[in-house]
Amino acid sequence: MDPFDNERLEQIAIMMESLSTEEKETIRHFVMFGQLSTAAARKYARQAGVDMEKWSVPWALANKTGWLTMVSESKTNNALEDCVYAMNEQIRPHLKAFFNPLFWGSE
């Protein structure tokens, strides 16, 4: 067991409280898939029923949370849409726990 696990979970909870519902849903998709382009993140958010007027692009979430890293820049005119972001692999297991309802004792 990592001695920092509890502290990481506390920091995740603090950050998640500061995120909007739309931002949390986008983070959830990055946790689920590991990496996504901006276009794919937008598609999954829309499919999940996220209010797209309040949706945040991945680069904004990367700056806000520090959990996402750009792994591939666009080489087309769709600069933001084609950029690929990946979830930080050190934090991803902790976010999986955060999104797991069993972790919180609910069914």
Instruction: For 69-105, write each residue's pLDDT tens digit.
Output: 999 866 665 566 678 999 999 999 989 988 887 655 5
- pTM for the model: 0.84
Distance from C-alpha of 36 to C-alpha of 105, rounded to nearest angstrom: 30
Instruction: Indicate whether 107 pLDDT > 50.
Output: no
Where are the chain's structural domains? Answer: 5-101
Distance from C-alpha of 61 to C-alpha of 53, rounded to nearest angstrom: 15
Q: What pLDDT was estimated at residue 2?
A: 79
CATH 3.40.50.300 fits 5-101, yes or no: no
Q: What pLDDT was estimated at residue 91?
A: 92
Give the residues across from 36 on adjacent strands: 85
pLDDT per position as a tens digit, 27-53? 999 999 999 999 999 999 999 998 888
Vertex 23 angle, CA 22 and 25, to 5°? 65
